[in-house]
Amino acid sequence: MDSRLRGQDVPVEHDSNEPWAQGGESSLTPAQLNLTRLFEQDQQRQQKNMPAKAAEQAPDGTAKGKPRLLLMGQRRSGKSSISSVVFHKLPPSETLFLESTARIQKDELPSFMDFQVWDFPGQIDIFENPTFDIDAMFGEIGALIWVIDAQDDYLEAVARLNVTILNLQRTYPNIKIEVFIHKVDGLSDDYKLDIQRDITIRIQDELSDNGFENAPVTFHLTSIYNHSIFEAFSKVIQKLIPRLGILEAMLTNLCRTCRFEKAYLFDVTSKIYIATDSAPADMTSYEICSDYIDVIIDVTEVYGSWPRSEKHREGLEGSPWNQKLEDQVASNWAESCMVLSDGNKPIILREVNKYLALVAIMKEDSYDKMPLVNINVEVVVQGLEEFFDITKPK
Amino acid sequence: MPPDVRNEVKKPKKKKVLLMGKSGSGKSSMRSIIFSATIDIDLSHVKFLGNLTLNLWDCGGQEAFTENYLTQQRVHVFSNVGVLIYVFDIESRDVERDMATYVSIISAMVQYSPTAKVYVLIHKMDLITMHAREAVFVDRVRLVQQKTAEFTQASGFNSELDLIPFATSIWDQSLYKAWASIIHDLVPNLSVIESQLGSLGTIIEAEEILLFERTSFLVVSSWTSEEGLGNPTGDRQERMSNILKHFKQSISRFTGTPRNAEQFILMEHKAGPRFSMFVCKFTTNTYLMVVLPPGEARFNSARFNCQIARESFKFLDGPTPGQGQSGRA
């Protein structure tokens, strides 16, 4: 697939001439070994928790080892709108025209972890209906996202959710339940919190009545008209990343070394962030970083997606440069930077791999330090590559 | 450069730009998007590129007003008009009536400013389904042209009235295309700007150079290399305007500074071995966007050269009192 930040892929040799790729297994650093060990421990523990079944699952072969997201909720609660806006870049205003979903829609996404969004039609009751293979459906999911329309009467939705949670808790206690209290745009802040409190109490009461004290249920206030839906997805997805702490520590370290205010690791397709540093995250810094990715994607679409002529290339590689174009560039990955007028604050973007990009907000007046920062970022990007190499599902 | 050309710049040009159309057709929202000011601010004088003040007359579309323009204020409103921008709402329910109003406006304009250019914007095109847009637009333009022709024949107006039609929507780049074209005709010394951009582009091996006005991000002038002409994206200029303008607003949300304040100084993007580009503050009133072939050294030297070139483009900012004097001394 083509990179969206760089334009079409030009064949790039990624062999052993890069220092960090040398050696292979034999020369793992202590940090790498440690991560490998921790990750394997995790895997084993998980297999113990998910008795017997875990091994033989992978209902359709494609889902093997990949975290799956399940999107459920009452009809017209906004599930299809959510998946269209987040994963297919549909402008929120266009979601009004989406048809009601009539059957289960499975979505394979070209994203770094192959999230799967199963869009369930709201009117189907899966637990009542014997034709559904519950096991095939829930066997491998990482998180169940339940969408509740906050602008509607939600009592029935909450009741259905309770039934679902109780059913799932018995068989699949590891599934994380994420409740999106949706369509909260236009509601006042007080009212939003009231609704959230009300729903939380209703669900927790029901659960504790049935003897589940600490069920993994989390609540998010969302709307497709602002970044809150992306923020909520980011939190959900972060829970599915094995050893997230190490990723976060890497970013925190980078922020400290380079004096960044904030750093995000983005999934470029969905603009969900999969990790950030330990500084408190605020919506505005997330928004600016995600909008910046959009700008770069848009510009690249215009200027990076058409082939230049061979003759032109020869001219560029000739005198006075006398070098192949590939050797004239400093990096084969997309690198971008901008400087705000407000305090001369730079924001940088660096492509990590086909799916991920690192975006960071820097300190005031630090544009002059860019060369140094670039070197540090380069090192962290290599570290990230190693991280994903070790933790990728086998 | 011939000195008389520069002197001509010093004279501020007062051209009246009339923005008209029925009430609710979207004139004011259009204006506020392009010139990023809040709706309530009176925008009769829009500063554009320092020396060019757009005398923008946003004429309220309510019928009572229109009546008034055509009678008591007829001379006042329609004399000395450089450009008339007439906005049609594509969703209008009473097309016949729209046309009647339009014809009476045109007749007044022809009477007092026969040389004015007329732009016809068919607005709110986003409300038409994608595949029908082209047909609906062509259809409506034909109607407008027909009405105009009927009028010119009946009134015995001897020269052809040249209409320049655009399909616009505030939700995509089409608005920038229309306005860039309107602005293009008003900018003085365009040929000088173009030839200078050309020499700059050749020196730095650029593929494309776009010169934006600072607040509106409308493309004032551009230059494209022979190779760059191969770019299949035809509407890239207005797309860039739209992208950068949007991003400017994102930044203003982030920094909490006003929407029409300056938001960024520099943006650079190196897309590996595909291309590089940068957008930088250029003169006081402009931004420069440069698209380059890949290459670190090429990129850095282009940045320096553009900084040096700034001096030769100073005339874009026009004379501000005092500054012009000290420059000469």
Task: Check whether B43 has a pLDDT greater than 80.
Answer: no
Output helix, strand, coil percentages for chain B, rounded to the nearest 5.
Answer: 45, 20, 30
Do the strands B276-281 and B264-271 form a parallel or antiparallel pair, or are they unpaired?
antiparallel
CA-based end-to-end distance of chain A: 22
Mutate to test the interface with B, among A8, A90, A327, A329 (most CBs of B within 10 A): A329
Kindly determine whether residue A309 and residue B227, on different chains, have CB atoms separated by under 8 Å: yes
Task: Check whether A147 has a pLDDT greater than 80.
Answer: yes
The residues pairing with A69 across neighbouring beta strands, listed in sequence order, are A117, A143
Task: Give me the residues of A, 274-333, that contact B with CB < 8 A.
Answer: 284-285, 287-288, 291-292, 294-296, 298-304, 306, 308-309, 312, 316, 321, 325-326, 328-333
As annotated, the residues of chain A forming the CATH 3.30.450.190 domain(s) are 242-391
* pLDDT attached to residue A378: 92
Among residues of chain B, what percentage have pLDDT more than 70? 85
* pLDDT attached to residue B111: 86
DSSP assignment of A71-105: EEESTTSSHHHHHHHHHH---GGGGGGPPPP-S-E
Q: Residues A147, A82: contact at Cβ < 8 Å?
A: yes
* pLDDT attached to residue A262: 94
* Residue B257 CB-half CA count within 13 A: 13
Distance of CA A33 to the CA centre of its chain: 26
* pLDDT attached to residue B4: 47
Residue B222's pLDDT band, with cuts at 50, 70 and 90, is: very high
What is the CATH T-level fold of the domain A54-239, as seen in this structure?
A: Rossmann fold (3.40.50)
| Residue whose tokens read 């909008």 | A291
Nearest-Å Rg of the Cα atoms of chain B is 21
* pLDDT attached to residue A311: 87
* pLDDT attached to residue A62: 37
| CA nearest to B273 within chain A | A326
| Residue whose tokens read 């169940």 | A144
* pLDDT attached to residue B51: 64
Residue B114's pLDDT band, with cuts at 50, 70 and 90, is: confident
Residues of chain A neighbouring B295 (CB-CB closer than 8 A): 316, 321, 325, 328-329
* pLDDT attached to residue B262: 87
Residue A21's pLDDT band, with cuts at 50, 70 and 90, is: very low
Nearest chain B Cα distance for residue A289, angstroms: 10
Averaged over A234-246, what is the pLDDT? Answer: 86
DSSP E strand boundaries for B94-233:
117-123, 163-167, 208-213, 219-224
| CA nearest to A317 within chain B | B295
| Residue whose tokens read 């650029």 | B206
- The residue ranking higher by pLDDT, B140 or A31, is B140
In 3D space, the residue among A12, A138, A19, A345 whose CA is nearest the CA of residue B254 turns out to be A345
**What is the rounded average pLDDT for all residues in chain A?**
80
**pLDDT tens-digit map of A67-120:** 677 888 887 788 888 888 888 878 887 787 777 776 777 776 666 666 666 666
* pLDDT attached to residue B48: 74
Do the strands B264-271 and A176-182 form a parallel or antiparallel pair, or are they unpaired?
unpaired
* pLDDT attached to residue A221: 93
Do the strands B81-89 and B13-21 form a parallel or antiparallel pair, or are they unpaired?
parallel
Task: Check whether A260 has a pLDDT greater than 80.
Answer: yes
What is the CATH T-level fold of the domain B190-328, as seen in this structure?
A: Beta-Lactamase (3.30.450)
Task: Check whether B149 has a pLDDT greater than 70.
Answer: yes
* pLDDT attached to residue A45: 65
Averaged over A261-273, what is the pLDDT? Answer: 90
**pLDDT tens-digit map of B153-211:** 887 766 677 889 999 988 888 989 998 888 887 887 888 889 999 999 999 999 999 99
CATH architecture of A242-391: 2-Layer Sandwich (3.30)
User: Where along chain B do its domains lie?
Assistant: 3-186, 190-328
Q: Which CATH number fits domain B3-186: 2.40.50.140, 3.40.50.1820, 3.40.50.2300, 3.40.50.300?
A: 3.40.50.300
Pairwise CA distance, residues B103 & B88, whole Å: 13
Task: Check whether A16 has a pLDDT greater than 50.
Answer: no
* pLDDT attached to residue A256: 92
Structure tokens at B120: 């016809």
* pLDDT attached to residue A128: 67
Do the strands B163-167 and B117-123 form a parallel or antiparallel pair, or are they unpaired?
parallel
What residue type is assigned to position A165 of the chain? I
Task: Check whether A357 has a pLDDT greater than 80.
Answer: yes
* pLDDT attached to residue B307: 92
* pLDDT attached to residue A1: 47
**pLDDT tens-digit map of B285-318:** 899 999 999 989 999 999 999 999 998 888 777 6
| CA nearest to B127 within chain A | A94
Residues of chain B neighbouring A354 (CB-CB closer than 8 A): none
CA-based end-to-end distance of chain B: 20
Residue A48's pLDDT band, with cuts at 50, 70 and 90, is: low
* pLDDT attached to residue A20: 40
The interface pTM score, or ipTM, of the predicted complex is: 0.81
Per DSSP, chain A holds a count of helices (H) and strands (E) of 12, 11
Residue B190 CB coordination number (10 Å): 13
Kindly determine whether residue A12 and residue B273, on different chains, have CB atoms separated by under 8 Å: yes
**What is the rounded average pLDDT for all residues in chain B?**
82
Q: Residues B201, B156: contact at Cβ < 8 Å?
A: no
Least confident of A264-273, A313-322, B195-204, B304-313: A313-322
Least confident of A126-135, A271-280, B212-221, B315-324: B315-324
Do the strands B52-58 and B13-21 form a parallel or antiparallel pair, or are they unpaired?
parallel
* pLDDT attached to residue B237: 92
Q: Residues A351, A337: contact at Cβ < 8 Å?
A: no
Nearest chain A Cα distance for residue B220, angstroms: 19
**pLDDT tens-digit map of A186-237:** 889 899 999 999 999 998 888 888 888 777 889 999 999 888 898 898 888 8
DSSP E strand boundaries for chain A:
68-73, 105-108, 116-119, 141-149, 176-182, 217-221, 260-267, 272-276, 334-340, 346-351, 356-362
- Coil vs helix vs strand at B146: helix
Task: Check whether A336 has a pLDDT greater than 70.
Answer: yes
Pairwise CA distance, residues A226 & A148, whole Å: 17
* pLDDT attached to residue B321: 41
Q: Find the CB nearest B295 among A8, A300, A328.
A: A328
Residue B73 CB coordination number (10 Å): 14
Mutate to test the interface with A, among B269, B281, B289, B299 (most CBs of A within 10 A): B269
- The residue ranking higher by pLDDT, A95 or B46, is A95
- Coil vs helix vs strand at B216: coil
Which positions ≥6 away from A368 have C-beta within 8 Å?
A: none
Mutate to test the interface with B, among A332, A338, A366 (most CBs of B within 10 A): A338
Structure tokens at B62: 């309510």
Task: Check whether B104 has a pLDDT greater than 50.
Answer: yes
Q: Residues A33, A105: contact at Cβ < 8 Å?
A: no
* pLDDT attached to residue A19: 40
- The residue ranking higher by pLDDT, B55 or B309, is B309
Nearest-Å Rg of the Cα atoms of chain A is 23
Residues of chain B neighbouring A338 (CB-CB closer than 8 A): 264, 266-268
Residue B113's pLDDT band, with cuts at 50, 70 and 90, is: confident
Structure tokens at A306: 């058409």
Structure tokens at A261: 């205010």
Task: Check whether B281 has a pLDDT greater than 90.
Answer: yes
Q: Find the CB nearest B243 among A298, A328, A329.
A: A298
* Residue A355 CB-half CA count within 13 A: 15
In 3D space, the residue among A254, A181, A172, A258 whose CA is nearest the CA of residue A215 turns out to be A172
The residues pairing with B89 across neighbouring beta strands, listed in sequence order, are B123
Averaged over B44-62, what is the pLDDT? Answer: 69
Pairwise CA distance, residues A111 & A116, whole Å: 10
- The residue ranking higher by pLDDT, A18 or B69, is B69
